[in-house]
Amino acid sequence: MKNKLLVISLLCPFFLSGQVDLVDPTIGGVGFLLEPTRPTVHLPNSMVRMYPVRKDQLDDQISFFPLTIISHRMGELFSIMPGENKRATWDQEVTTPYYYSTYFDESLIQTEFTPEERSGYFRFSFPSNNAEIHLKNLYKGELNLGAGNSVSGFEEFKGNKSVQPMRAYVYGEFSTSFKSERKEKEGKKYLFLKLSKKTIEFRYGISLISVEQAKKNLYHEIPNWGFDLMKNNAKARWNKTLGQISIKGGTEAQQRVFYTSLYRTYERMINITEDGKYYSAFDHKVHEDARPFYTDNWIWDSFRAHTPLKTILNPEMSADQLQSYVRMYEQSGWVPSFAVLWGDHACMNGNHAAAWFADSWFKGIRNFNMLKALEGVRKNSLEATLLPWRNGPKGPLDDFYNEKGFFPALPEGKKETDPMVCPLEFRQSVAVTLGNSYDDWCIAQLSRSAGNKNDYNLFMKRAQFYKNLWNSKEGFMWPKDAHGNWIEGIDPKFGGGRGGRAYYAENNAYTYNWDVMHDFEGLFSIMGGAKEAEMKLDQLFREGNGRSKFDFFAKFPDASGQVGQFSMGNEPSFSIPYLYNQFGAPWKTQKRIRSLLDQWFNDDIHGIPGDEDGGGMTAWVVFSMIGFYPTTPGLPVYDFGSPLFDQVIINLRNGKKIQIDAKNNSKENKYIQKVKINGKAWNKAWFHHEVIANGALIEIEMGNHPNRQWGTRPEDLLRRSAELNPDDLAVVR
């Protein structure tokens, strides 16, 4: 480790300025309606993550500093606070991915922090030699004094009657001796430390295995005192990571938005392997494995853009993360939905690991056990409950779905009859049907690749279940009751219980009309053809709420970032602006992407329009600013948008590079006139992953008026799974 630190420190002069200087973690620090995005200080994909605990970026008081967090916005572990044990008013804050600093107004104490992967480093500067520091548990646990100037302990979190609690351990050392007392406040026990120096440093290790392992983690990563050295090392790590993509052009504000978005995508998944071991909450055992084990993945939020981005940037890491999901299945019997530190967090809906597995496989990531992964998502589809916010075996509503091809709904106001249904989340009958139709399509593609024709046919049939909920009279995906009758009296903008969750999920019928990512041809057909579908999509961006914003957002707080009934602030909307490419009107996609980026993604505390969710939304920003997007994860195809920068260079892990040159690019020149890929004219508004897998030069000529001939040939509009290469469909051996 010492050699590693020496090498990085020698390289630091070359990394002291770079892409990380364009990152502002406070962007989006005030939520529009729901939760803000936290200014997390951490290394890429690392266990230890820290942010000051407060309501949001406008809150002028900090409650405490955690030693690490459980997951973005999902709680913190252990607390440290200099000065009095109370909220303190802050000022002069500096926030970067690798370093944090703030002063407290009354006490004049400065707090600084810099991270390592499984350890952290605080430095406190006091105005006098009378220093006080408080350490406490945030959950059930204990903290103890050790030899020298050390402290250690544990705390348990996220346990209940049915879930075994998770333990986190800490071992830390102060740079000077101290006197200590044990105190209690509001039922919380804590250590009160008195120290007699103006500058106090605290270095610590975190473990999910034991206190002894936490100590090893500390000594492995921070073997010596030296805050500034660690800070420079962390900065170098971030510059190397973010420097994988270089950009030219755009405004400085747009560059800040881009690199801040890219930084956000590295907050999860996190590597929790410690010295070749990891604790898995999926079987509550410590495992030895030479391969890293990753967790913390909110897959409903991540499968659309976040994991596809990492498939391009970090295929080796992606393979490790995929294999981690396979191990979770082997350990627990189910493929998780939200794989977090304490296990599978039953959250949202869908079997979206299927999309992630398929997307990665068909883009050439093969270093994971695809057959075991396929076994797991197949079991999830046929034997697990599809109910939102539930885990475990299937129930009667799932049997109904398997037989009838749709999830049955209840009329508004009717009392729920199935005790398995979460009373706060309802059945989400349309969202569940559409989401699982897509997931089953992904399973079908994997089954075909595995040579299982019977499963391919079974899941392709299930992939068409979405059609059972198309109500041609209403012109929407619409809920049916158990007798096959349409639910009457629904307002497609407003109906369906809290947040629309009786029938949809966090959005209304206008959004879910387009949540059929696997079969655009079939979707447009039932809408009356491509022209009718295009007109319907135009109207989506123009349709009003039909009521006050107060009334609308009181019911749909997730549907933020509105343009008409389109909600930029929520994940099911991500692929919608790119659908114009399917209609032979790619210029509308180009116009819409530029306007959405300008309208909703700015370099200020309001610069993210919804719940960012640790990389889900900002990955959309990265793709859209680069100029293309994976409209259908599971199909190795990208849709062109409108590149924001004059040049983008992506350095691939295989030593090749993707270079995108946008000539004559400007705010006004947002329309693609013509494209060349590797010197050859390219007239499609999409391209296959193999085009960029081994590097490519994409030259795009831009103009201020649409080229209505480019990307419009009928034979080029719709993408089918048949366009997968023969090698993609080879039998797995």
Neighbours of 302 (CB within 10 A): 26
Question: What pLDDT score does 185 carry?
Answer: 75
For residue 101, the cross-strand partners are 94, 112
Domains and CATH numbers, the chain: 2-243 (2.70.98.10), 252-729 (1.50.10)
Low-confidence ranges of the chain (pLDDT < 70): 1-17, 159-162, 718-733
Per-residue pLDDT tens over the stretch 286-342: 999 999 999 999 999 999 999 999 999 999 999 999 999 999 999 999 999 999 999
Please enumerate in sequence order all residues whose Cβ is within 8 A of that of 69, keeping only pairs 6 or more positions apart, or say none.
40, 49, 50, 51, 75, 76, 77
Strands 696-703 and 657-663, sheet pairing: parallel
What would the two tokens of residue 385 be? 């409950």
For residue 189, the cross-strand partners are 184
Per the CB < 8 A criterion, the answer to whether 629 and 305 are in contact is yes
Question: What pLDDT score does 11 carry?
Answer: 44
3-state secondary structure of 180: strand
Please enumerate in sequence order all residues whose Cβ is within 8 A of that of 193, keeping only pairs 6 or more positions apart, or say none.
132, 133, 134, 135, 174, 178, 179, 180
What would the two tokens of residue 577 be? 């602006």
CA proximity to 211, closest of 263, 253, 265, 173: 173
Distance, C-alpha 300 to centroid of its chain? 8
Please enumerate in sequence order all residues whose Cβ is within 8 A of that of 354, keeping only pairs 6 or more positions apart, or say none.
377, 380, 381, 439, 440, 442, 443, 446, 634
Question: What pLDDT score does 519 carry?
Answer: 95
Crossing angle of the two packed helices 616-626 and 306-313, in degrees rounded to 10: 60
Per-residue pLDDT tens over the stretch 235-265: 999 999 999 999 999 999 999 999 999 999 9
For residue 202, the cross-strand partners are 122, 174
Strands 199-207 and 166-174, sheet pairing: antiparallel
Question: What pLDDT score does 723 carry?
Answer: 47
Report the chain's terminal Cα–Cα distance, integer Å. 40
| Residue owning tokens 């995508």 | 265
Strands 470-471 and 476-477, sheet pairing: antiparallel
Per-residue pLDDT tens over the stretch 120-171: 999 999 999 989 999 999 999 999 999 989 999 999 998 665 678 999 999 9
Distance CA(567)–CA(441), nearest Å, equals 26
Crossing angle of the two packed helices 586-600 and 616-626, in degrees rounded to 10: 130
